[in-house]
Amino acid sequence: MQEIDLIIVGAGPVGLYAAFYAGMRGLSVAIIESAEVAGGQPQNLYPEKLIYDIAGLPAVTGADLTRNLLEQLAQIPHRLFLGEAVQKLEKTSTGFTITTDQAVRKAKAVLLTTGAGLLTPRKLGVTGEEALEVSGKLSYFITSLQAFKGEKVAVFGGGDSALDWALMLEKVASEVHLIHRRTSFRAHEHTVRRLEDSSIQLHTPYTLSEFTEKGVQLQKVKSDLLTELSVDKILVNYGFLTNQLDLIEGLEVTRNGRVTANRQMRSNIEGLYVAGDASDYEGKVPLMSVGFGEAVLAINAMTQVLTLDHAIRKGHSSSIF
Ligand SMILES: Cc1cc2nc3c(=O)[nH]c(=O)nc-3n(C[C@H](O)[C@H](O)[C@H](O)COP(=O)(O)OP(=O)(O)OC[C@H]3O[C@@H](n4cnc5c(N)ncnc54)[C@H](O)[C@@H]3O)c2cc1C
């Protein structure tokens, strides 16, 4: 079995970009992804949602961002193993043994870009939810905006995702209602301003009390006041529960299950790095722009450690590519 320089676990946006950057720095690289398609959360959870905070791209959908990342990656030699879940990592004298559900591989260094791990949407917890989910009336993310064309939609949630989706839906749906249990929203100021200027009907502070034949019944927080809303579709955006696999013994993780990283994105295990949503440190923000920067820090640090004649200071310009 040939040992390569770097194996990246997870082909989300950060893993894909990290692989490209590693290739640019002269490392031999392979990526292992458990899903059948590369792209992580933007590709699988919000392929049609517009993303506004990627440097140099005024607005890009999750699917287009994935396409761009794959196109960028195609410029360097690499191997991408899809549909293969990494189950265990073991430290060896020269690097790591990586055991997947299909093979055993070896690498001098490993970069974890496993994101939030296996994602499960946080549910409303109201009777009848599962049946509505099966019937297609209730969903936790949107894979096709067209499915909401001309429909009356109730969006539950008060974070960036809920607001982004409500604003996207406004363009295709006949009515959009946003229901949040607080009077203020936990979203970017710019997004909140766009919401205030939109035609979206706000219901705050309200929660769902029950599903009705025509839609939903809402209850005002700390009050008995009930109000009926007639809607065709329900979108729940209460975030996701995550399940990180316990990949290696002795790995230091924080309370929320993310891997503790130092300033060079190294974990407490030598040769094992982390970037993107899987990482944690003081001030961590789980956004892609941050994850892309973390990938660069990790690759530059490991390139130096692997003593491949690429000093860290050489990483100042992509012209070496
Ligand atoms: C609805 C929504 C909207 C968002 N909007 C924005 C936005 O506008 N701007 C922004 O910057 N961020 C946004 N985010 C956050 C952004 O999607 C994440 O920060 C980003 O996806 C993190 O990228 P990542 O590569 O670290 O992880 P992920 O995208 O989670 O990818 C991790 C990959 O690792 C794979 N994996 C996990 N475990 C294993 C294993 N054991 N073996 C093999 N593969 C494995 C997973 O299958 C997945 O493909 C949004 C998130 C959501 C949910």
Residue 312 has pLDDT above 70, yes or no: no
Please state which of the ranges 36-50, 63-77, 86-100, 175-189 shows the lowest mean pLDDT.
Answer: 36-50
Q: Which atom of ligand 1 lies nearest, measured to the CA of 275? A: 26
> Which pLDDT does position 89 carry in this prediction?
97
Question: What average pLDDT does range 277-303 have in this prediction?
Answer: 96
Q: Alpha-carbon distance 241 to 73, whole Å?
A: 30
Give the residue whose CA is nearest to atom 21 of ligand 1. Answer: 41
> Which pLDDT does position 69 carry in this prediction?
98
Kind plus residue range of the DSSP H or E element containing 9: strand 4-9
Q: Alpha-carbon distance 277 to 264, whole Å?
A: 15
> Which pLDDT does position 2 carry in this prediction?
61
Question: Does ligand 1 come within 6 angstroms of the Cβ of 246?
Answer: no
pLDDT, tens digit, for every residue of 159-177?
A: 988 999 999 999 999 999 9
> Which pLDDT does position 242 carry in this prediction?
64
> Which pLDDT does position 160 carry in this prediction?
85
Question: Does ligand 1 come within 6 angstroms of the Cβ of 53?
Answer: yes
Q: Which atom of ligand 1 lies nearest, measured to the CA of 288? A: 11
Question: Does ligand 1 come within 6 angstroms of the Cβ of 14?
Answer: yes
Question: Residue 148's pLDDT band (boundaries 50, 70, 90)?
Answer: very high
> Which pLDDT does position 81 carry in this prediction?
97
Of the candidates 156, 132, 268, which has an alpha carbon nearest to the alpha carbon of residue 205? 156
pLDDT, tens digit, for every residue of 210-236?
A: 999 999 999 999 999 999 999 999 999
pLDDT, tens digit, for every residue of 114-145?
A: 997 866 678 999 999 999 999 999 998 887 89
Question: Does ligand 1 come within 6 angstroms of the Cβ of 47?
Answer: no
What are the chain's domains?
4-119+240-320 (3.50.50.60), 123-236 (3.50.50.60)
Residue 320 has pLDDT above 60, yes or no: no
The answer to the question of whether 86 is labelled as a binding residue is yes
Q: Per-residue b/e over 136-174, b at no fewer than 16 CB within 10 Å?
A: eebbbbbeebeebeebbbbbbbbbbbbbbbbbbbbeebe
Q: Which atom of ligand 1 lies nearest, measured to the CA of 277? A: 26
Instruction: Tokens for 130, please give them.
Output: 């599962």
Beta-bridge partner residues of 110: 7, 272
Who wins on pLDDT, 101 or 3?
101
Cβ atoms of 191 and 219 within 8 Å: the answer is no
